[in-house]
Structure 1
Amino acid sequence: MQPTETQLKKKIKCWLIFLIAGLFLSGATAFPIESELAIAVNNLDAFSPKIQQWLTTIYTAVKTTNAQYPYLSYGTDWLAFAHVILALLFVGPLRDPVRNIWVLQFGMIACVLILPLAFIAGPIRHIPLFWQLIDCSFGVVGIVPLYIAYRYTKQLESITNYNHI
């Protein structure tokens, strides 16, 4: 039995709310990066030795940079802001998924493009492979709710006889 329009809209909203929350949280947590790293470094026993070393190195770099060149963290602030703005972008498909299906497509393209960015820029910036894989996981995790919402949106489109403009 094919789901109803109401059921499809509810499923789409659930997946998009999950995505929006993830984007918003990843943005909000990018602002206090030095404080978060301090917490991680104070709890190093929870991590493997390789990750302990990496976190200590990153914390030292961020703390030193913020003390001497605080304006460089402005780049991280813009990264955080971009995540929050991207979360807002998905309000369109939350309200009208069929009309805003292009936003879902855009999101899936962005998720796929995370992988080449991580694997190209990562080595250039001396980012360890395990951290590049963590970065890639954002694209892998992000594409799941987007693809599911996209498939439900295509089903919704087919049963509602939506007229394209």
Structure 2
Amino acid sequence: MSPTPIQLKKKIKSWLIFLMAGLVLSGITAFPIESELAIAINNIDMFSPKMQHWLTTIYTAVKTTNAQYPYLSYGTDWLAFAHIVIAIAFIGPLRNPVRNIWVLQFGMIACVLIFPLAFIAGPIRHIPLFWQLVDCSFGVIGVIPLYIACRYTYQLEILENTLKNH
């Protein structure tokens, strides 16, 4: 038995809410980077030696930069804000997924573009490969709910057109 439009809309909403929550949480956690890194440093033994070195290096860089040039963290604040704004963009598909399917497609394109950014900018900025892969995981995690929501939206569009024509 094929799902009803109401069932499809509920599935789409569930996946989009999951994505939006992830974007908002990711954004919110970008604000207190120094404090979060301090917590990681206080629990450094939990990490592998490679990760310990990376976290120590990043913490030192962030702490030093914030002490001497605190205005540079304003860029990170805008990064956090951008995550929240992107999450808000998915309100359109929450309300009307068929009309706003382009937002889902845009989101999937953005997720795919994480890979070239990470693998081009990563080496230029001296980001270790393992951390580039962590960054790429956000693209993988993001594209999954978007792809599923997009598939359900295509089904919903077909179903709504079928019901409209009968």
Fold match by TM threshold 0.5: yes
* 1:125, distance to aligned residue in structure 2 (A): 0.1
What SS class does the counterpart of residue 99 from structure 2 fall into? coil
* 1:111, distance to aligned residue in structure 2 (A): 0.2
Q: Which residue of 2 aligns with 1:81?
A: 81
Alignment of 1:127-138 (within 5 A): 127-138=127-138
Q: Which residue of 1 aligns with 2:23?
A: 23
* 1:10, distance to aligned residue in structure 2 (A): 0.4
Alignment of 1:45-84 (within 5 A): 45-84=45-84
* TM-score normalised by structure 2 residue count: 0.97
CA distance in 2, matches of 1:78, 1:141: 22
CA distance in 1, matches of 2:87, 2:36: 22
Which runs of 5 or more residues in structure 2 are unaligned? Answer: none
Counterpart of 2:55, as a letter, is: L
**What is the Cα-based RMSD across aligned positions, in Å?**
1.0
Alignment of 1:16-165 (within 5 A): 16-161=16-161
Which runs of 5 or more residues in structure 1 are unaligned? Answer: none
* 1:161, distance to aligned residue in structure 2 (A): 1.3
Counterpart of 1:44, as a letter, is: I
Q: Which runs of 4+ in 1 moved over 3 A?
A: none
